[in-house]
């Protein structure tokens, strides 16, 4: 088994067994390019078991978070249908290790995303927009990792919920998508607040970033793909009480929610 395959298998077993492991870089030299290869191999393992890729997500889209991690670029992860929960549905918390939740903006591609196309044509590939929730869950002990570690771990992707889709052109005729208030509530109490402007300055900038990174790392972005543009607030711990409700609201765009199951 190659080093890449062995590292991917180690992370895969941590995820499926819900048992955190030491960071890969604690015992192995892993650069960013190798980390993306580990991520790709891990997704291939899951697809081989019947999972279906439905989209991609960006990480480190907050300038403050990027500076905190000492990075100058966003990172790309892959999402599968098996990790999606319907709006208002129940999320089984027992599937995770130490999950956190954050509010996001989701974009839906109506056409294939062409990395060679001009930025305006890439943006034209986006058909719809919606509020979203993302569950992140590092497979590493104490939720601590280097840049290479988190990329190999598929950017901590663990689950997501998408609210009601709205036509992007219609939304942009009424709203400034780069300046909408975002609120994350847990059981009716505000846990985090932020703005869509905290996502790359404008969540639509995620499209060009996805096109570039997807091309670099061999990740297709065909029509029908979902893009999670990035977190609009800091992440909050996912409640561990059964029946707890998590709601994200994006002013003017709508809300998205989930209920916690599989907890005490």
Q: How many domains does the chain have?
A: 1
Q: Which tokens belong to 24?
A: 């890969």
Q: How far apart are CA 177 and CA 174, in angstroms?
A: 9
What residue numbers bound the domain in which 95 lies? Answer: 3-261
**Coil, strand, or helix at residue 228?**
strand
Give percent above pLDDT 70 in the chain: 95
C-alpha closest to that of 237 among 48, 101, 113, 42: 101
Highest mean pLDDT among 62-66, 78-82, 231-235: 78-82
Per-residue pLDDT at 60 = 86
pLDDT tens digits for 173-189? Answer: 999 999 999 999 999 99
pLDDT tens digits, one per residue of 126-148 = 999 999 999 999 999 999 899 99
- Which two structure tokens, joined as six digits, stand for 228? 């999670």
pLDDT at 263: 67
CATH number for the domain spanning 172: value is 3.90.850.10
Is the C-alpha dihedral spanning 209, 212, 216, 220 positive or negative?
positive
pTM exceeds 0.85, yes or no = yes
Give the tens place of pLDDT for each residue, 212-221: 999 999 999 9
Dump pLDDT digits (tens) for 147-174.
Answer: 999 999 999 999 999 999 999 999 999 9
DSSP 74-140: -EEEEEEGGGEE-TT-EEEGGG-SS-EEEEEEEEEESS---TTS-HHHHHHTEEEEEEEEEEE--SB
Q: State how far the Cα of 224 lies from the Cα of 221, in Å rounded to an integer.
A: 8
Mean residue pLDDT of the chain comes to 94
């Amino acid at each position: 088994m190659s080093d890449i395959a062995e590292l991917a298998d180690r992370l895969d077993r941590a995820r499926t067994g819900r048992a955190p492991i030491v960071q890969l870089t604690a015992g192995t030299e892993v650069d960013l390019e190798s980390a993306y290869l580990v991520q790709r191999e891990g997704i291939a393992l899951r697809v081989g078991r019947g999972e279906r890729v439905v989209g991609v997500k960006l990480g480190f889209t907050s300038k403050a978070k990027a500076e905190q991690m000492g990075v100058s670029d966003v990172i790309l992860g892959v999402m599968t249908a098996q990790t999606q929960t319907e709006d208002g549905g129940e999320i089984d918390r027992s599937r995770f290790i130490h999950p956190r939740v954050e509010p996001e903006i989701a974009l839906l591609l109506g056409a294939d995303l062409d990395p060679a196309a001009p930025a305006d044509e890439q943006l034209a590939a986006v058909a719809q927009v919606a509020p979203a929730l993302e569950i992140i869950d590092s497979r590493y002990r104490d939720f601590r990792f280097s840049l290479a570690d988190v990329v190999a771990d598929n950017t901590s992707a663990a689950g997501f919920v998408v609210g009601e889709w709205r036509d992007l052109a219609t939304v942009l005729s009424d709203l400034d998508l780069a300046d909408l208030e975002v609120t994350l509530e847990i059981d009716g109490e505000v846990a985090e607040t932020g703005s869509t402007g905290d996502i790359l300055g404008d969540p639509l900038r995620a499209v060009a970033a996805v096109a570039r990174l997807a091309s670099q790392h061999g990740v297709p972005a065909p029509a029908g793909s979902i893009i999670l543009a990035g977190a609009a607030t800091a992440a909050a711990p996912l409640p561990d009480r059964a029946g707890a409700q998590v709601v994200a609201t994006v002013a003017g765009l709508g809300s998205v929610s989930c209920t916690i199951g599989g907890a005490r």
